[in-house]
Structure 1
Amino acid sequence: MSEPIKIDIWSDIACPWCYIGKRRFEGGSTLFAEAGDGRAVEVEYHSFELSPDTPVDFDGTEVDFLAGHKGIPAEQVHQMLDRVTGIASSVGLDYDFGSLQHTNTVKAHELLHFAKANGKQLELAERLFRAYFVEGGHVGRVDDLADLAAEVGLDRDAAVEAMESGEYLAAVRDDQRTAAEFGINGVPFFVIDGRYGVSGAQESATFAQALEQVWTERAAADESATAEARA
């Protein structure tokens, strides 16, 4: 029963709900772990691009992008962003949409795969989200991304080489194909223990309950296997 529950998360760095969902999931996994008996989770991030046709250097604000992308008035976009900012604040995130630099995120996804190969994916995911939504950093250009990689302890030169060579682009595309096979058309999307899907930035308690359900089912399966072995 000590094996962690595997959590596969499809997300995009440019998705405000993904960062909120990350915080809420972390709250839920903490609640789950606090119940003891070796409860733990193992998290892996997977690539999903919300707007793959976005240029690396988008000429305009986040309001401009969303108004054009969704075809809604700028005033309505402002109201949407104000609402999201308030929800982000409730989980300790200080979103700054005014300074956000909208960009293409494919290189960020490639870098996340590079980070996974080097044992730093979770640290990099957090750093990229914070740079994008809180600090107004650019997460689409290789040099800027390499700086962020170095901040979490990754080799900067190796990160640049990985992104410029496209070494991990196939891994990004594999994630996207798997998402399509699973029917995932929005993020964040959480796959728990390879069996249960949770869509959206659910409340922490919801995540904790889902994890506890999987843990209980595992315990029941282990007890049944033990009983059969003794019979």
Structure 2
Amino acid sequence: MRIDIWSDIACPWCRIGKARFESALARFAHRDEVEVAWHAFILDPDLPVRYDGTEVEYLIERKGMPRAQVEAMTQQIARAGAGEGLDFDFDSVVPSSSLAAHALLKYAEATGADVGAVEDALFDAHFRDGEVIADADVLVRIGAAQRLDAGAVRAGLTDPTVVRAVQADLAAAQQIGVSGVPFFVFEQKYGVSGAQPAEVFTQALEQVWAEVHPQVGLTPLGEPDAAACGPDGCAVPTRPDAGAEQS
């Protein structure tokens, strides 16, 4: 079973949604037969390499949100994250373009690295540690910590193949109508939007698995008590016309 997930490193609910999804997947009986593919999504393509201000100031200016609403929202997100064992420090977040971070993820995917682990490291760098996720030096350090070659990571961030892979993800999201993240697509058929509770992901996993792998069975016809033989011998029918009596 395949699950495609669109996510943005600059999205706190993507961090929380990833944790909830992975919690459900870890408890899923067929987890070893599930293929997960992560895809790039950029919430604000116009965000510079580094925004001159705090996350709260960015949301007030770029999204037109009142300060009280922004502060209430970040507090809610921090509480939700804490419930999943995640740390959010919005006072230290540096708003910056996530394009290069997505390039790192695509490079990691091309090398066979654990993309989920690299993504976690990027989320922590952005939301917990106050790192600039558009900075090549930061990304090289994160990649090296995930056992990727530092020099190759630096080159990979601008590699045309990697850049095209990011652009393909963005185009695919637009094609299927993804307007917000996180967004989960099960078997190219069912969409789950947002950081749903783990129970919702569990239900989706079980439902789609059952559809993709239906139980093989037959619909019975005829009389259920007709004469037949089995491992324990031959049955005597309860009706005289159900079959010849055997012993």
State if a TM-score over 0.5 links the two structures: yes
| Paired residue type of 1:117 | A
Q: Check whether the contact 2:25–2:31 (CA below 8 A) recurs between aligned residues.
A: no
- Letter matched to residue 116 of structure 2: L
Runs of 4+ that moved beyond 6 A: none
CA distance in 2, matches of 1:130, 1:156: 19
The CA distance in 2 between the partners of 1:38 and 1:223, in whole Å, is: 21
Are 1:163 and 2:157 matched, yes or no?
A: yes
Out of 3, 7, 27, the residue aligned to residue 3 of structure 2 is 7
Q: C-alpha distance in 2, partners of 1:108/1:69?
A: 21
Is 1:200 the equivalent of 2:167? no
Cα distance in structure 2, aligned partners of 1:53 and 1:195: 31
Does 2:35 align with 1:50? no
Q: Deviation at 1:39? A: 5.6
Residues matched between the structures, number: 217
* Bigger fraction of residues in helix: 1
In 1, Cα distance between the equivalents of 2:112 and 2:196? Answer: 27
2:182 corresponds, among 182, 185, 188, to 188
**Which residue of 21, 24, 30 corresponds with 1:25?**
21
- Out of 136, 139, 142, the position equivalent to 2:136 is 142
Amino acid at match of 1:74: R
Aligned-partner Cα distance in 2 for 1:93–1:67 = 25
Q: CA deviation at 1:191?
A: 0.8
Gaps of 5+ in 2: 219-247
Q: 1:107-146 deviations in whole A, cap 9, x for unaligned?
A: 1111111000011212211111111111112211111101
Letter in 2 for 1:22: K
TM-score computed with the length of structure 1 as normaliser: 0.89
Match of 2:88 in 1: 95
> 1:218 maps to what in 2?
212
TM-score if structure 2 supplies the norm length? Answer: 0.84
Q: Give the partner amino acid of 1:162.
A: G
Give secondary structure in 2 for the equivalent of 1:168: helix
The residue aligned with 2:237 is none
Q: Percent identity, aligned pairs only?
A: 43
Aligned-residue RMSD, C-alpha: 1.5
**1:38 Cα deviation after fit:** 6.7
- 2:54 match: 61
Give, as a single letter, the amino acid of the residue that structure 1 aligns with 2:175.
E
Q: Select the structure of larger CA radius of gyration.
A: 2
Output one character per residue of 1:189-210: Cα deviation in whole Å (capped at 9) or x when no partner. 0011222111100010100110
Runs (5+) with no aligned partner, structure 1? none
Distance 1:139 1:42 in 2: 27
